[in-house]
């Protein structure tokens, strides 16, 4: 698949078939993501790839704690309320997803159901927990580097016909994830990527999120000289 096609067609996948993903395929994808650039080639990331029993344990632990009212516990908080234009975009994608799924605004039960799916990492057969070196916690560039690698990861997955969604929901209860996956204390759990073969019949998978127009994000200077 051409890079341009993969970039244009990739979208977050939130419904998967039960088919497993081989370790070999995952290794190929991760090897591609591992080519990501990083500040001074520091490569601060670590990946923990879960499937089968450990992933089920993570799902259960994460979901049970969210249900019993345990406050979210993340190494890096990303659940602060967005405001203004950021909040508007957050609502827009939620509306697109709920419309696709036929979930009415006031249907609390189905909305809650959707949220719970997120805490289960959309029942994906694989979860990749993305970490970076704790010693670089205060170095914002390490977050940037790890994010760049993660985008490479989802693009590489897409190029092989796999679907993925980067998601914070799956690691809302990070201590549980750390314990089950035996993640060393010297690593910060940043996010996770739910990954598998896309379920073609899952309607939310066809949602295409909108983007800001380039004229609102980009300035060109000196081109008319």
The residues of the shown chain that bind ligand FMN, judged by CB under 6 A, are 11-12, 14, 93, 118, 165-169, 191, 209
Minimum CB–partner distance for residue 224 and ligand FMN (Å): 33
Between 23 and 124, CB nearer to ligand FMN: 124
Instruction: Name the token pair of 137.
Output: 């916690």
Between 67 and 93, CB nearer to ligand FMN: 93
Minimum CB–partner distance for residue 191 and ligand FMN (Å): 5
Closest CA to 45 of 114, 134, 123: 134
Between 5 and 209, CB nearer to ligand FMN: 209
Minimum CB–partner distance for residue 94 and ligand FMN (Å): 9
Between 54 and 147, CB nearer to ligand FMN: 147
The CB density around residue 215, as the number of other CB atoms within 10 Å, is: 8
Closest CA to 184 of 73, 48, 38: 48
Between 31 and 94, CB nearer to ligand FMN: 94
Minimum CB–partner distance for residue 221 and ligand FMN (Å): 28
Minimum CB–partner distance for residue 93 and ligand FMN (Å): 4
């Amino acid at each position: 698949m051409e890079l341009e096609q993969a970039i244009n067609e990739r979208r977050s996948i939130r419904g998967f078939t039960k088919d497993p993903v081989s370790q070999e395929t995952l290794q190929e994808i991760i090897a591609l993501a591992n080519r990501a650039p990083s500040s001074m080639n520091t490569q601060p990331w670590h990946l923990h790839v879960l499937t089968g029993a450990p992933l089920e344990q993570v799902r259960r632990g994460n979901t049970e704690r969210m249900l019993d009212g345990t406050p979210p516990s993340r190494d890096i908080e990303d659940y602060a309320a967005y405001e203004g234009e950021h909040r508007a975009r957050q609502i827009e994608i939620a509306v697109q997803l709920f419309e696709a799924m036929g979930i009415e605004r006031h249907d609390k039960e189905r909305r809650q159901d959707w949220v719970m799916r997120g805490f289960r990492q959309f029942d994906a057969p694989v979860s990749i927990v993305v970490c970076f070196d704790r010693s670089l916690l205060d170095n914002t560039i390490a977050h940037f580097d790890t994010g760049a690698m993660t985008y490479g990861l989802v693009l590489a997955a897409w190029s092989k016909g796999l679907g993925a969604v980067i998601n914070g929901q799956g690691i809302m209860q990070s201590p549980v994830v750390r314990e089950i996956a035996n993640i060393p204390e010297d690593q910060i759990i940043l996010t996770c990527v739910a990954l598998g073969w896309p379920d073609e019949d899952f309607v939310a998978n066809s949602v295409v999120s909108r983007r800001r127009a380039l004229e609102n994000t980009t300035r060109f200077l000196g081109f008319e000289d």
